[in-house]
Amino acid sequence: MSTTYAILGAGMQGTSAAYDLAKYADAGSIVFGDRELAQTERAAARVNKLVGREVCTGRVVDALEPASLTEFLKPADVVLSCVPYWMHPHVAPAAIAGKTHMVDMGGNTSVTRQTLRLDPEAREAGVTIVPDTGLAPGLVNNLGSYLIEKLDLAESIKLYCGGLPQHPKPPFNYKLVFNIEGLLTEYNDEAEILREGKIARVPTMEELEVLEIAGLGAMEAFTTSGGTSTAPETWQGCVKNYEYKTIRYPGHCALMKVFKDYGFWGRNPVEVRSGKATPREVFEALMGPALMDPTDRDLVVVRAIGLGKTDGAPAKHQIDILQKHDEATGFTAMEQLTGMSTAIYAAAIAQGEMQPGCLRYESALTGHHFMDEMRRRPVNLTVA
């Protein structure tokens, strides 16, 4: 049976997800929806050209206007919500009402919990909704699920991820690969982890460690918020330790932490001679453009380590991904992995692989299923 997918948000990640569905999930049709028709038409034309068939079209839709959204979702079997994270809970009720399955790219755990609270309504409607299907949270947590499945007894899951420039420039050695507001949320909020069997909240930009990454050398990793999402709750009682850290080039953490420690990310207005302003707004306005570098290509590095026991003996499994900008398709490394993860979940729902309800990403689909799907795609993946 041919599947119709709707892509809500015709931006970078949504376009990559559409390409993945068209190339690897044999999508029957894909409809882009955005407030600007020209944006949807550009995204559709790009995907159609890449896959060599007319599978994508574009339509105007206002995701915050119920009538517009309901009409857009009518022909869709599954909708991929690729809009800003705070909009996902506005999309989910319309999906449930229209009996359209849904995945979203997440981005904020408290917002994800709002969507998950719609579970009774989704189950009654026979609709499957899975939030947080992006990269981190998202793909990295599914690697964690795979490692838990591999071990007879899982004791520790350590997850790492970083979106980085291929040619770092001092002093920050960083290229902004998503919204500056999202970056500061990761750096400034508390991180939720599972430590010695208990859910704990730990400060961000702490617990610095050095990782040796093949092809990159010595890198640093430190605590950031959001990467674990709901996984600590899901795996409590199954795993003693479950944590996530962000990977950066050496020295980045110390420099950025200065801004955190001295109040540059504060949300309370301060009085200056020209009026009032919040330090965070000023920082975002100045640093956001400064950290963008359209001349450089990006890369994404992911590491997942599982420690435990198999057949009563100590065991360790490790997964590494080093993905780079794809010159053939033009998709960045961040777009590839984020779009791929979301598309894999959307296709699995269409294939009847998940039960109805609002499901937590890390347990909605087996890690082995996800790994099998990744191996079908051009992902630079090693498993040890």
Same domain, residue pair 297 and 171: yes
Which pair of structure tokens corresponds to residue 371?
A: 């790994």
The answer to the question of residue 99 being in a domain is yes
Same domain, residue pair 149 and 241: yes
Q: Is 294 exposed, middle or buried (0-12, 13-18, 19+ CB in 10 A)?
A: exposed
Bridge-based pairing state of the strands 275-277 and 191-195: unpaired
Same domain, residue pair 159 and 88: no
| pLDDT on residue 244 | 98
- Tell me which residue range forms the domain holding 356: 4-134+334-366
Measure the CA–CA gap between 384 and 376, rounded to whole angstroms.
Answer: 19
Same domain, residue pair 261 and 242: yes
Same domain, residue pair 225 and 261: yes
| pLDDT on residue 179 | 79
Same domain, residue pair 65 and 181: no
Model pTM score: 0.94
Same domain, residue pair 148 and 249: yes
Q: What is the CATH number of the domain that holds 126?
A: 3.40.50.720
Same domain, residue pair 222 and 300: yes
The answer to the question of residue 376 being in a domain is no
| pLDDT on residue 1 | 65
Measure the CA–CA gap between 268 and 276, rounded to whole angstroms.
Answer: 10
Measure the CA–CA gap between 270 and 277, rounded to whole angstroms.
Answer: 6
| pLDDT on residue 107 | 79
Same domain, residue pair 130 and 278: no
Same domain, residue pair 87 and 189: no
Q: 313-338 pLDDT, tens per residue? A: 999 999 999 999 999 999 999 999 99
Same domain, residue pair 80 and 206: no
Measure the CA–CA gap between 137 and 348, rounded to whole angstroms.
Answer: 18
Q: What is the CATH number of the domain that holds 257?
A: 3.30.360.10
The answer to the question of residue 377 being in a domain is no
The answer to the question of residue 341 being in a domain is yes
The answer to the question of residue 149 being in a domain is yes
Same domain, residue pair 222 and 90: no
The answer to the question of residue 59 being in a domain is yes
Q: Domain total for the chain?
A: 2
Q: What residues of the chain score a pLDDT lower than 70?
A: 1
The DSSP element (H or E) to which 215 belongs, if any, is none
The answer to the question of residue 378 being in a domain is no
The answer to the question of residue 44 being in a domain is yes
* DSSP secondary structure letters along 324-353: E--TTT---HHHHHHHHHHHHHHHHHHTT-
Q: Which amino acid is at 245?
A: K
